[in-house]
Structure 1
Amino acid sequence: MNLHNWQHIRKVVADAQRAAMHCSIATVDQQLQPTITPIGTLFLHEQGYSGFFFDAYSGALEENLAANAKACIQAVNSSRFFWLKSLLKGEFLDYPGVRLYAEIGRLRPASVEESARVNARIKALQWTKGSHKIWSDFTHVRDFKVHGYKWVQYPEMMPKQPDS
């Protein structure tokens, strides 16, 4: 992974989160049974191949991470416009998603900057009753370090790369 790839990953994840309002984090329990947790508060740092997410309401994730800190974070752009445009053209202009292979850290209190970032993300919906019920207890985060990635792709629909 290099900085150019990381910036591209950040764009694809941002597009996916705008469309779906969440990413999925896959972990396994002590019996190696998989669990997928939707997380709507995932942030990627500009550099360092890392990020953080606010962890609330995710009991299975917490239990699984206690036994195995490795996870797969998947972000897929579910925008109908993105898919319709791609299907009509017969080609994606960009990857429709990415899987990040990561190691997730322990729960810790959120910094003032991290709290400001999540508040900026949810600001448009703060007036709703559901917003107060879902997002008022965001006080703790988990850091994660990305060790690898794999693009979500459909080979016949990917843009043709110029010969190098």
Structure 2
Amino acid sequence: MTDLYEQWREIRDILDRGRKATGHFAIASVDSDGVPNITPVGTVFLREDRTAFYFDQYTSALARNLDTNPRVCLMAVDRGTLFWFRSLLVGRFAAAPGVRLYGTAGTLRPATDLELAQVRRRVRPMRFLRGGRLLWSNFSHVRDITFTSSRLVRYPMMMAHLPQTDSVPFHDPEV
């Protein structure tokens, strides 16, 4: 089994490409009746320790779902035109086009000064626009996500040259 401490940088690269291409991540959750919901969230920040946090603003269905079931799936897919054109031209992906991370979301908590600085940096260019000020001026609370496993988005015919590991649980080398 592969150690995801070694894979975390690659996973973060895939997630970063996906966020830059779409402007957000997709976070899936399930409500108390078992009905799935997918929420686009542009304010997810990844950490080096296989965790993340996101600003819980405009996510009412996700927040309700997490009150009854904290399990989530975060997904990003690189939909960049150049990435796909190059891949289709040569008939293979240079890297996985996307990844899903499975984990558990924590309770709502006040954002730290460092977290607020990170979101301000990300949305700074848009805050000069009227809509940007309306959308991204009142961040105050976050939720942490602890990831437990991952699964690549796979297109087998164009990924035969890449490692075939599909789902690998995270391992803590200190345990």
Shorter-chain TM-score above 0.5: yes
Task: Indicate the TM-score class for this superposition, using the shorter chain for normalisation.
Answer: over 0.9
Match of 1:74 in 2: 75
**Structural RMSD (CA):** 1.3
Is it true that 1:8 corresponds to 2:10 in the alignment?
A: yes
Distance 2:110 2:129 in 1: 26
Distance 2:160 2:131 in 1: 40
Match of 2:112 in 1: 111
Distance 2:20 2:147 in 1: 21
Match of 2:150 in 1: 149
Distance 1:128 1:84 in 2: 32
Query: Is the contact made by 1:94 and 1:159 (CA closer than 8 Å) also made in structure 2?
Result: no
Which piece of structure 1 moves more, 104-113 or 116-125? 116-125
Is it true that 1:120 corresponds to 2:116 in the alignment?
A: no
Q: Partner letter of residue 140 of structure 1?
A: H
Relative to structure 1, the CA distance from residue 69 to residue 161 in structure 2 (aligned partners, 3 Å threshold; closer, same or farther) is closer
Distance 2:162 2:94 in 1: 11
Identity of aligned residues (%): 41
Which piece of structure 1 moves more, 151-160 or 99-108? 151-160
Distance 2:158 2:122 in 1: 32
Q: Partner letter of residue 70 of structure 1?
A: R
SS in 1 for 2:131: helix
Is it true that 1:136 corresponds to 2:137 in the alignment?
A: yes
Shift, 1:161, TM fit: 4.5
C-alpha offsets along residues 98-133 of structure 1, whole Å, 9 cap, x if unaligned? Answer: 000010001111111111111111122221111111
Q: Partner letter of residue 51 of structure 2?
A: S
From 17, 21, 34, the counterpart of 1:32: 34
User: What TM-score results when the alignment is normalised by the length of structure 2?
Assistant: 0.88
Q: Which runs of 4+ in 1 moved over 4 A?
A: none
Query: Is the contact made by 2:26 and 2:39 (CA closer than 8 Å) also made in structure 1?
Result: yes
Q: How many residues align?
A: 161
Structure 2 gaps of 5+ residues are 164-175
Q: Partner letter of residue 8 of structure 1?
A: E
Which piece of structure 1 moves more, 1-10 or 92-101? 1-10
Distance 1:63 1:89 in 2: 45
Shift, 1:78, TM fit: 1.3
Shift, 1:159, TM fit: 5.7
Q: Partner letter of residue 23 of structure 2?
A: M
